[in-house]
Amino acid sequence: MKSFTNHPFALCFILLLSGLPRIGAARENPPKTWKEHWFEHNLEVRRVYCDNDVAVYFDDDVDRKHTWLYKFVGDIWRYTKETYGDFGDGRLYAIFHADKYGGGHPSTWWDKHHDYRNVIDIGKAGDWVEQPGWTYGVITHEISHIVELSSKGLHGSPAFGIWGDSKWAEIFNYDVFLNLGYTEVAEKMHDELMKGTDNFPVEGTHWFRDWFFPIYDTYGGNKVLNRYFTVLSENFRQSGDSYKGGMNMGEFVYFWSAAAGENLQPQAEKAFGWTEEWQTQLDQAQIDYPNAATVQRSDITEYKDLRLAAEFDDSPADQGPQNLTDNNLETKFLTFNNHCEIRFAIKNSCRVTGYSIASANDFEERDPLSWTFKASRDNKHWVVLDERSNEDFDARFKTRLFTFENPSRYRFFSFEFTNNHGNILQISEIEILENR
């Protein structure tokens, strides 16, 4: 385990995958003694306090006069449940050691290795004298990991590989101290973290200053923190009662955007920089998790007043341009030409910032390879909104999303497609996405 000496809010160790999911969480009477059986911990600890929310345990070297821990731990845990919901049977087991271990770890009600209990287990040099800084911070820090590992009835933390050991804990701690009246602690923490930098995901990243605090400050404080876990639980891939795997950077930005109700990609670019790989991941997240969408986009091809037409009138009877907007991947538009312009018109102008194209059922050489997407207000003067070349659809019925910046409103839209090779072009679906 790592020492906390040089960082007041560092976590020593988390077991993300070793717990075995349990079916339910029956309310129990906390035992008077508890024999530790994890890592190098093998002591018998004794219960010194218990109420409906917390059970506090000391080893034999902790002075029993440190009763301040009862209220401090209880207040934080009660605030945590009020903000993020219940965790299993709702009780936290807090274990404290003096002059040993030098760090802490959490466990959750999903985990067999800690007897299916929400646990924080912390040791320190010296005894548990009440003081801000490390002593306050480590307790709150460990509770933050119970939130990320087991909130909303699911096990695991898909973002742990991105925000690491302490970045989520920093904003969690700040919020707890602020809302429980530890104003001076919160303000000092804020000032220190605003100066702090990390070397991930890129060197010089200001996680608190450029990512978490702006989100917290702009989009509702603890409400946006809770919304992140709610949206995650309702949309991210799962296997049984656990999340399935970790998220990539694009998914991370997408789910925080969902929590904020606004596209946070510009904020992410400021905080972390931005890469083509992350943009591809973000675009794919919008396809994989459409119900979490926060950049509110409507598909104008579903509007009743939509009109569309293809440049050529040579399609088979059941493969005309109307199939492009029928929300059915198994139908397609086909023309016996290697290029084709397709135009769309709506009654009222709108601001379009993206579109999706889906490949058809067969013959990848018929897929569109390159295209230009244009828009017009009067159907006479056209502006190029997006151009693509040498694009690849690596599977049949593959939907790809393309986004771009556009501040203007238009009524008419046009795709000019060229196929991969050969004399036939085919496409399954097209969506044109309006920002709302």
In terms of Cβ atoms closer than 10 Å to its own Cβ (0-12, 13-18, 19+), residue 233 is middle
Mean pLDDT to the nearest integer, 381-394: 94
Report yes or no: 292 and 258 within 8 Å, Cβ to Cβ.
yes
Task: Provide the whole-model pTM.
Answer: 0.68
User: Quick check: 405 pLDDT over 90?
Assistant: no
pLDDT confidence of residue 3: 33
pLDDT digits (tens, 9 = 90+) for 39-59: 999 999 999 999 999 999 999
Q: CA 218, 148, 239, 395: dihedral to nearest 10 degrees?
A: 40
Q: How many CB atoms lie within 10 A of CB 63?
A: 11
The domain limits of the chain are 33-157, 207-295, 300-435
Mean pLDDT to the nearest integer, 127-141: 95
Tell me which amino acid residue 390 is.
N
Q: Is the torsion defined by CA of 111, 114, 116, 117 positive or negative?
A: negative
Report yes or no: 211 and 268 within 8 Å, Cβ to Cβ.
yes
State how far the Cα of 173 lies from the Cα of 216, in Å rounded to an integer: 12
Q: Are strands 352-358 and 399-403 parallel, antiparallel or unpaired?
A: antiparallel
pLDDT confidence of residue 13: 53
Task: Write the class of the CATH domain 300-435.
Answer: mainly beta
In terms of Cβ atoms closer than 10 Å to its own Cβ (0-12, 13-18, 19+), residue 20 is exposed
Percent helix / strand / coil, the chain, rounded to 5: 35, 25, 40
Local confidence band at 79 (pLDDT 50, 70, 90 cut-offs): very high
Mean pLDDT to the nearest integer, 23-43: 85
State how far the Cα of 159 lies from the Cα of 163, in Å rounded to an integer: 6
User: Quick check: 273 pLDDT over 80?
Assistant: yes
Greater pLDDT, 25 or 61: 61
Domain boundaries 33-157, corresponding CATH code: 3.30.2010.30
User: Quick check: 21 pLDDT over 90?
Assistant: no
Greater pLDDT, 108 or 261: 108
Write the DSSP symbol of residue 21. P
pLDDT confidence of residue 18: 44
- Length reported for the chain: 436
As a whole number, the mean pLDDT across the chain is 91
